[in-house]
Structure 1
């Protein structure tokens, strides 16, 4: 099976520690993204060497069942044969053109076919680039400056959106980054997730100034927080009433919670959608798209500037095409629901038996175990979780060969490569850890 350690034995990670010590001399904090820094659980990050299917292997030779999946993209598991073959064939032709290629058309058509609200799409290089561009287009289309985002929703490190952010900003206790000037955030209004009266109040005060509302349809960056039907309905009704656009940030949920994303699952009708992660099959890529009349404002069709030398990169588009075609031809969603429900039920059972206060939230193959007695509805309630207990839980599982998100405020992801046996091994390991936390 998968785990290389059991009981209370501490895994040997000497090589990881040596490599990370060197990394700290070369890179800020030793990492290239703060979510990797283990700020939410303490200790040194684990350095990985390779991955296969549902498993990760670190530089010390330890094997782990992986519940991160590169923070979401690996819905098919690591190194899916179809994706690997597509990448190899693309690399044999070119690494980059900086010019149009047929793969861009194929991936764009797949996105338009699969995501209900997208009529036209632009490929970019990351989820952050997608949200940054969507905000600019919304402002250009409406002629307004104001943006509404929700506390605890993370939309990448865009200056105007890096306020009251989730993800690593929440984990590390830096919700407002130095270097983000008052001028770049003066048009950003902060809403409370799932709070309809507060949203109505914001629009009553600033409705004529607001270009768009951007939101996560299932929050994954303060842990998995689920929207209420009333909240989703109000988002659409209020933005339409005031002439603002609705931007659905599906960087995390796109192709994850259903083939058409959260908007298909919940019947959301956004004006613009941002995508990343699964859309590139693990390669650096993002996309934004939506109503054709809005997208035609993007240069060169319109006047809203957005560009990128590597946008539509042939290797990234090949990985994305292979992933989306596999998801369309052999949908894994019924299987993912089955094993994800298995994990949810098992963790709930064992935590209850150990008298550990907890709440589990799940949408499809996204899940969070909150060490809290309060069901999270927004950042205020999610932040009441016992992060110290989560840190002990994380390391207890890591030493049993289970790799969970290194923060209470990140959702875990299950892949089609996970087996029922992997899930049961995870539940058994969690039961052992829960006993040490009681």
Structure 2
């Protein structure tokens, strides 16, 4: 791997004009003690930095690029829309078309409201849950990140965990007080919360499969338990599928685990790489949103035609037969290879995967919740990241993030990754 002098220079300049030199903390590379790598272009399963280095990558722009970078069908539709206009602030037919397609894939969804980010989607879903139920309290799960809305930054994972921040200044005590946190995969803790506050709880929000503290699957019966307890208490069950929607299956985690939430939030893949978010649910709940109902939410660029065309084209590509079988096959190959490496080297690491999402945790114990994640060896992760990047494998620069598999990856790419993983773990093993 050649040097990254141009990235270093670019980062120094960015620090003069952008807080921390980045527009999202997840890009800062602070957890791996490196300067961020500045990217020039993406193509297929590869990224290219401004120094001319090539990287086989598993970030997928943090999830959206399930088809790989620059898929021709998406670029073609974007070019067509560019000639017509980038924004109108008025309804377009493509908004209805993509909303209809989402309802086709998600039985729990009758209506969809488009917004501009996952954060907007979860903020709006929380507001709607409170407005619909007439209650104030929200239950969230420790380590689940739902964007940077005030009420959801309490014990969030993702960038906050990477930077060692528990919450955030600027979030008032009154706002935080209305958010109750329970450990992920802990039925007893949730039951105790509902026993105490049941009549005050508007809803519970969670990543049904976590990605923002690394990939952790729900234990058997956990999602069923949440569905039952919310129903019994008149609260809403909200699935944050910004990351898992259209990735784990066409119908997301709710199809995979056969659970229908009251509200769902989406993002990432439904924008095909463009800024987008959405919240959705049953008609009787969604009709509480203005202009039909009293819960207000608006956005100048919501349903932006460029984003809608990119998202619609991506979702149409995912309708093809065997797409998710292909992703699963790639995931199985990568999982088998990395687990074999771990076993042969007797290395203290644990591999979690659900569909096309995975995380290699640097711990010798099973990872089931945020407390398990916090026991990982972050120094070892940072050393591993550097070894992989030097071999041309670009991973998320945090132990607390998911890795993503795209359809653009070939068997040769996967073999290359498994070999690089072995070399990296072997070198670290010698230094332990």
d(CA) in 2 for partners of 1:140, 1:39? 39
Equivalent residue in structure 1 for 2:389, among 386, 398, 404 = 398
Match of 1:352 among 340, 343, 347: 343
Distance 1:279 1:330 in 2: 19
Q: Tell me the residue number matched to 1:227.
A: 218
Which range moved further: 132-141 or 323-332?
A: 323-332
Alignment pair present for 1:373 and 2:364 = yes
SS at match of 1:352: helix
Once residues 336 and 165 of structure 1 are traced to their aligned partners in structure 2, the CA distance between those partners, rounded to angstroms, is 29
Structure 2 residue 97 is the aligned partner of structure 1 residue 110:
no
Instruction: Identify which of 252, 255, 265 aligns with 1:261.
Output: 252
TM-score, normalized by length of structure 2? 0.98
* Aligned counterparts of 1:226 and 1:238: Cα–Cα separation in 2: 20
Task: Find out whether 1:418 has 2:409 as its counterpart.
Answer: yes
Aligned partner of 1:388 in structure 2 is 379
The separation in 2 between residues aligned to 1:98 and 1:175, in whole angstroms, is: 38
SS of the residue 1:398 aligns to: helix
Asked if residue 83 in structure 1 is aligned to residue 50 in structure 2, the reply is no
**C-alpha RMSD over aligned residues:** 0.8
| Structure 1 residue 243 displacement after superposition | 0.2
Q: CA separation in 2, counterparts of 1:54 and 1:24?
A: 29
Q: Quick check: 1:26 aligned with 2:17?
A: yes
CA–CA separation in structure 1 for the residues paired with 2:222 and 2:30? 32
Between stretches 372-381 and 119-128, larger displacement belongs to 372-381
- Equivalent in 299, 307, 310 of residue 301 of structure 2: 310
1:303-358 Cα distance to aligned partner (Å, 9 max, x none): 10000000000000000000001101354211111111111111111122222111
Q: Deviations over 1:51-95 (max 9, x none)?
A: 000000000000000100000000010111111111111111011
Give per-residue Cα distances to partners, 1:184-238, cap 9 Å, x unaligned: 1111000110000100000000000000000001000111011012211110000
2:158 paired with 1:179 = no
| Cα distance in 1, alignment partners of residues 320 and 223 from structure 2 | 30
SS of the residue aligned with 1:64?
A: strand
User: Matched residues in 1 for 2:349 and 2:204: separation?
Assistant: 32
Within a 5 Å distance, the mapping from 1:109-258 to structure 2 comes to: 109-258=100-249
Aligned residues: 429
On the 8 A contact 1:356/1:437 being kept in 2, the answer is no
Q: Give me the whole-angstrom Cα distance separating, in 2, the residues matched to 1:389 and 1:115.
A: 40
Of residues 331, 356, 359 in structure 2, which corresponds to 1:340? 331
The runs of at least 4 aligned residues of structure 1 exceeding 4 Å deviation read none
1:46 equivalenced with 2:37 (yes/no): yes
The one of 399, 419, 431 equivalent to 1:428 is 419
Give the Å deviation of 1:177. Answer: 0.7
Structure 1 unpaired stretches of 5+: 6-10
1:85-131 C-alpha deviation (Å, 9 max, x unpaired): 11111111011010111111111111111122111110000000000
1:275 equivalent among 262, 266, 270:
266
Give me the whole-angstrom Cα distance separating, in 2, the residues matched to 1:115 and 1:185: 32
Deviation at 1:181, TM superposition (A): 1.1
TM-score, normalised to structure 1, is 0.97
Question: What's the secondary structure of 1:362's corresponding residue?
Answer: strand
Q: Is the 8 A contact 1:116 1:263 kept in 2?
A: no
2:280 paired residue among 289, 312, 327: 289
Deviations along 1:154-202, whole A, 9 cap, x unmatched?
0000100001000000010002111111121111000110000100000
Separation (CA, whole Å) in 2 of partners of 1:65 and 1:314: 31
